[in-house]
Structure 1
Amino acid sequence: MGNEEDHYLLFLELLNETDNTTDLSYVVSNAAQLCSKKILNQFGARFIPVFYYANFLLSYLGNGLVLFIIYKYERLNTVTNIFLLNLVLSNILFASSLPFWATYHLSEWIFGMALCKIVSSAYFIGFYSSILFLTLMTFDRYLAVVHAVAAAKTRKRAYAIIASVTVWCISIVASVKELVLQNVWESPFNGLMCDESGYPEDTMERWRLVSYYQQFLLFFLLPLFLVMYCYISITVRILSTRMKEKCRTIKLIFVIIFTFFACWTPYNIVILLQAIQTHDSCSYSESLDYALYVTRNIAYLYCCISPVFYTFVGKKFQSHFKRLIATKIPCLKRHISLSSQSTRTTSQRTPHSAYEYKTDRQRQTDRNTHTQGGTTSF
């Protein structure tokens, strides 16, 4: 009993010392501010599932059509077709995760821990690899047009396979964080959540910053600068030739650069603002969340339809599509002009597109160029 009284008196003494202290380091002036996300979550529950399901359907229809045309009319003996096939597969992988996220936003995560990690990883692997394959295809076009003679020696099937494997490896490594940090936990307000959890908050915050800067630098700025450099170089080279369709080609190049920039820039600016966020106000944080919802879906839409956009502006794939329509819908055959040559033969012997032209030096290396993968389709 005496020990208990001693302990109690000691406690009172310490309490009085704490009350009388004048050391300002004891004073905590910053109050923790809790922001209600109820309205934001309601907006997401209405807005996100619609966009995700629409992106899923568009991606499967568009990428499935490109995949079918490659299977039916093309062969995987060209660099362009290998890259295009990998781009289609990356978009299909990405789109396959969208129905899971749409269901999640409608209610809660009902698919278990394993699918939480797998779907999260597939989502980012497909997203990152899609960006890199778009960039790789642009760089390959640059080589085929600006450095056509040298490219005839290097643009072989092995080069395409090694480059594709490298892209997949980079995308997988960049997505390992999702496999490790994603966990399922139960929120008292929102039910089962598939989110980054299970680690100290400072660790989680550090990884979030790594993700933000990785996304902005590696998967936006670098591809954007490379795409702009390649297409500007292609434009300069085309302007120096006597191409008959020079104006049409330059317009297509401008459309590609503008579309890439318009779709990706807003999303990545929002990501950067989240990474360097200095305002603690709820209204600022909520505005960023709303902006992220909208800009992210624009970027995802471009990611899903990019193979269609990149292939069907070219005459070769337009010819394939017309032939496919004429075959499947005979009543439209008389309204569609088709070349008399076999499409497969044409695609193998004359793979030249709106980007392609012949210089005196190229005429000497045509046979090598055709046998080693041709030039790029546009």
Structure 2
Amino acid sequence: LVVISVDHCVSVVFPVWAQNHRTVKKAYIIVVLAWLLAISQGIPSLIFGDVLSHLDITICYNDYSLYQNGQELVTVRPLITGFIVPFIVIIFCYSIIILKLRTNRMTKNSKPFKVMTALVLAFFICWLPYHVFVLLELNHQNYDHTILYTGLKIGTSMAAANSFLNPVLYVFMGNDFKGSVLSKMEHAMADEECTT
């Protein structure tokens, strides 16, 4: 999401430069770097993750006994690098885009602003519960285990939902939603008729 928002920002603020310098090779490099960064975020969970089996019950848990600040590392680092910093970058990029579009009067349509607002809100709403419950888990002795467990399940589901929510927002809020959906349905029906 950060890469997409930065790409949109560069395309709007520097359209000529973007047209001349954005290449498929550079896109591949950025995607690979994003994946490497995402993989590196999971390394602490690999280090501290452990499995306990007893009476046909298997429990996955994090063992922080070897490193006293391990739980903070696994909890606070993703909050900063996976939520706070991306949220700030996304808001910054879309704010610049909105200012650029408004000052240049490049668009009379309010849909781009609605799409950008919806994307930022979706990111915030989907990821905030997960990080709140992960932080609450740091002091798990002060909270009801059932509430933490349920909150983490819901938070994890909402965070995962953000991955499919963004494309849906682009499609449903895009300018050509009605035409694109109808044309795709007509195309699918034509293919179906041909095969029957």
Q: Does TM, normalized by the shorter one, top 0.5?
A: yes
After TM superposition, give the deviation of residue 154 of structure 1 in Å.
2.8
CA RMSD of aligned residues (A): 2.8
Residue 308 (structure 1) aligned to one of 160, 168, 192:
168
Q: Is 1:140 aligned to 2:7, yes or no?
A: yes
Q: How many Å separate the matches in 1 of 2:74 and 2:137?
A: 11
Measured at CA, do residues 235 and 194 of structure 1 come closer, stay the same or move farther in structure 2, by a change above 3 Å? same
Within 5 Å, give how 1:325-364 maps onto structure 2.
325-330=185-190
Query: Which residue is 2:39 aligned to?
Result: 172
Measured at CA, do residues 224 and 312 of structure 1 come closer, stay the same or move farther in structure 2, by a change above 3 Å? same
Tell me the SS of whatever aligns to 1:329. Answer: helix
Q: Is 1:226 aligned to 2:89, yes or no?
A: yes
Q: How many Å separate the matches in 2 of 1:295 and 1:154?
A: 39
After TM superposition, give the deviation of residue 296 of structure 1 in Å.
2.3
After TM superposition, give the deviation of residue 205 of structure 1 in Å.
5.5
Tell me the SS of whatever aligns to 1:296. Answer: helix
CA distances 1:249-295 after superposition (whole Å, capped 9, x unpaired): 222222222222222222222223333x2x73453x54333322222
Q: How many Å separate the matches in 2 of 1:250 and 1:158?
A: 30
Within 5 Å, give how 1:74-223 maps onto structure 2.
134-188=1-55, 191-196=57-62, 201-203=64-66, 206-223=69-86
Percent identity (aligned): 22
After TM superposition, give the deviation of residue 217 of structure 1 in Å.
0.4
Measured at CA, do residues 183 and 269 of structure 1 come closer, stay the same or move farther in structure 2, by a change above 3 Å? closer
After TM superposition, give the deviation of residue 183 of structure 1 in Å.
4.1
Measured at CA, do residues 205 and 304 of structure 1 come closer, stay the same or move farther in structure 2, by a change above 3 Å? farther
After TM superposition, give the deviation of residue 313 of structure 1 in Å.
3.3
Q: Give the letter for the 1:250 counterpart.
A: F
Q: Is 1:270 aligned to 2:133, yes or no?
A: yes
Query: Which residue is 2:194 aligned to?
Result: none
Q: How many Å separate the matches in 2 of 1:205 and 1:324?
A: 56
Residue 75 of structure 2 contacts residue 134 of structure 2 at CA under 8 Å; is this kept in 1? yes
CA distances 1:144-196 after superposition (whole Å, capped 9, x unpaired): 012223323332222211111101111122223444444443134x7123444
Tell me the SS of whatever aligns to 2:86. Answer: helix
Residue 94 of structure 2 contacts residue 116 of structure 2 at CA under 8 Å; is this kept in 1? yes
CA distances 1:77-124 after superposition (whole Å, capped 9, x unpaired): xxxxxxxxxxxxxxxxxxxxxxxxxxxxxxxxxxxxxxxxxxxxxxxx
Q: Which has the higher contact order (CA 8 A, sep 6+)?
A: 1
After TM superposition, give the deviation of residue 204 of structure 1 in Å.
6.1
Query: Which residue is 1:280 aligned to?
Result: 141
Q: How many Å separate the matches in 2 of 1:328 and 1:230?
A: 37
Larger Rg computed on CA atoms: 1
Measured at CA, do residues 210 and 234 of structure 1 come closer, stay the same or move farther in structure 2, by a change above 3 Å? same
After TM superposition, give the deviation of residue 315 of structure 1 in Å.
4.0
Query: Which residue is 2:157 aligned to?
Result: 297
Bigger Cα displacement from structure 2, 202-211 vs 255-264: 202-211
After TM superposition, give the deviation of residue 223 of structure 1 in Å.
0.6
Tell me the SS of whatever aligns to 2:66. Answer: helix
Q: Give the letter for the 1:252 counterpart.
A: V
Residue 111 of structure 2 contacts residue 173 of structure 2 at CA under 8 Å; is this kept in 1? no
Q: How many Å separate the matches in 1 of 2:59 and 2:107?
A: 58
**Structure 2 portions without partners, runs of 5+:** 191-196
Q: How many Å separate the matches in 1 of 2:131 and 2:175?
A: 33
CA distances 1:314-353 after superposition (whole Å, capped 9, x unpaired): 34676554332111124xxxxxxxxxxxxxxxxxxxxxxx
Tell me the SS of whatever aligns to 2:11. Answer: helix
Residue 324 (structure 1) aligned to one of 184, 193, 196:
184
Number of residue-to-residue matches in the alignment: 191
Q: Give the letter for the 2:81 counterpart.
A: L
